[in-house]
Chain A
Amino acid sequence: DAGVIQSPRHEVTEMGQEVTLRCKPISGHDYLFWYRQTMMRGLELLIYFNNNVPIDDSGMPEDRFSAKMPNASFSTLKIQPSEPRDSAVYFCASSSPTGGITGELFFGEGSRLTVL
């Protein structure tokens, strides 16, 4: 079975440009999470969805960040305009509670973003 698929794996862009990161969760999973990993702040939960609906976006750093999940098999995280401090590895993860919370998140390999 395919795991969580993220694209692009690497992105280098200039300050002010729009960045779009993409995620395809594991088929059948109804929870999707976006995390950001930096040396300074570790792994931060940005936002998560359940059945395509955003449940908690309190971790989204500011209005420059937005996330969507138009259907069960696709999500995007957009940064507009990007800034150098947005440089990080962005992870997408999906999960499927069965009869309750199982808690196992399956992670993609991440998208490494560098903003110059």
Chain B
Amino acid sequence: AQSVTQPDIHITVSEGASLELRCNYSYGATPYLFWYVQSPGQGLQLLLKYFSGDTLVQGIKGFEAEFKRSQSSFNLRKPSVHWSDAAEYFCAGMDSSYKLIFGSGTRLLVRP
């Protein structure tokens, strides 16, 4: 079955430290992949997306993600985390049926 897995439920980093959130996908063909962020009490906002081409994609708020077919991964990174980045992050995949399937989310906590 098509799925997206986020193995980390919680991640805590210190402000200014680098960040990597993991995402693995299971699709027959290369899916469209996305990262969304959800602040408390809010809806989801798109950070970045990958369809094809360059495997390193840049997003908003200084985030980037790298698609690695050999590892079936699409990890999200940021070189220096700010306190305002504390939120829940969702990886998602979409196939040709246009159904966007979300992972279970990773909650990011930022230490001062």
Binding site for B on A (CB under 8 A): 4, 31, 33, 35, 42-43, 45, 48, 50, 55-56, 91, 93, 97, 101-105, 107-110
| CA gap between A56 and B44 in the complex, in Å | 21
Residues from chain B with a CB closer than 8 A to the CB of A33 are 100
What residues on A are CB-neighbors of B103 within 8 Å? 42
Per-position binary interface string of chain B over residues 87-112, scored 1 when its CB falls under 8 Å from any chain A CB and 0 otherwise = 00010001011111111110000000
For chain A, what secondary structure do more than half of its interface residues adopt (helix, strand, loop), or is it mixed? strand
Given contacts A91-B44, A108-B43, A109-B42, contact A103 B94 (CB under 8 A): yes
A selection of 23 A-B contacts at a CB cut-off of 8 Å is A4-B43, A31-B98, A42-B104, A43-B90, A45-B99, A45-B100, A45-B101, A48-B99, A50-B98, A55-B98, A56-B97, A56-B99, A93-B44, A101-B96, A103-B32, A103-B51, A103-B94, A103-B100, A104-B46, A107-B43, A107-B45, A109-B42, A110-B43
